Amino acid sequence: MKAASMKKQKFFRLSLTYLVLIFTVVVIVYPLLWTIGASFNPGNSLVSTSLIPTSPTLSHYTKLFAGDNSLYYSQWYLNSLKISVCTMFLSLIFVSMTAYSFSRFRFTGRKNGLMLFLLLQMIPQFSALIAIFVLAQMLGLINSHWLLILIYVGGQIPMNTYLLKGYFDSIPLDLDESAKIDGASNTRIFWQILIPLSRPMLAVVAMNGFTGPLGDFALSSVILRNPEYYTLPIGLYKLVTDKMGASYTTFAAGAILISIPIALVFIALQKHFVSGLTAGGTKG
């Protein structure tokens, strides 16, 4: 009886687990499939679209790159990639150096600095939009991609520093001391020991730095005012709210194409994610 009761409990838990997983997959995958289907459906309305297009067409994709001079989709795409790539690399540099300093050195204001980073994460970004706009106007940096990149990089530093510092703390100090005995400087220890050992967490920082700008609308809409400087979120929003008419299916096509660089970056960094999980699982 006890064995039968345990089997029933195990079956119930397994069934509940599968139900939760199925529900999660449906919630995540169904909107994505609907968007993909909408991008291949003729017309401009999402109301008449179906999950599987009955008369699929590539007209919405071709419209994004040709045929309508009012669309700057190619330029928006390049702008977004430029901002995302620059944000990713600059975030890696500044976050890794900041995390190394907080992890390996003891200096005046260290604890206060960590506390400040924590407090900065509690302040929502949109609360500073007015101040950022006024500052951009005073400096003449309206429509400046580099100002946007610097703001994104600054926003990436606090939380990612906490993540990477925790990873650096898990690397034994004995490695640093052994390297110093052999004559290695702090810079050499940083680049040749800590950075290679921290590739899994650096991959997370890189992924955060790349995907953040691609999905941002509020901040970029404050800085970028001319169509040729737009990023994809602003451009697609303007495409839907344009006075000429809402092109929702064209918007769906443009939104699907945003996922391509994100997928490529994830595939490129995936081996580092897997190696980090494997290393964590086999560490004694």
Q: Which of 147, 146, 153, 144 is nearest to 228 (CA)?
A: 144
Q: What is the pLDDT of residue 46?
A: 63
Q: What is the pLDDT of residue 117?
A: 81
Q: What is the pLDDT of residue 94?
A: 94
Long-range CB contacts (< 8 A, 24+ apart) of 137-141?
A: 141/223
Q: What is the DSSP string of 51-70?
A: SS-SS---HHHHHHHSS-TT
User: Using CB atoms within 10 A of its CB, is residue 97 exposed (0-12), middle (13-18) or buried (19+)?
Assistant: middle
- Report the alpha-carbon distance of residue 203 to residue 198 in Å, rounded: 9
10-residue mean pLDDT series, the chain (284 residues): 70 85 85 82 67 77 70 86 95 93 87 82 77 87 91 89 88 87 87 88 91 88 89 86 68 86 88 57 37
Query: Which residue in the block uniquely carries the two structure tokens 């580099």?
Result: 146
Contact 237, 35 (CB under 8 A): no
- Taking the complete model, does pTM exceed 0.85, yes or no? no
User: Computed over its alpha carbons, how large is the radius of gyration of the chain?
Assistant: 24
176 token code pair = 């640093």
Q: What is the pLDDT of residue 282?
A: 36
Contact 280, 75 (CB under 8 A): no
What are phi and psi for residue 9, nearest 5 degrees?
A: -65, -40
Q: What is the pLDDT of residue 246?
A: 62
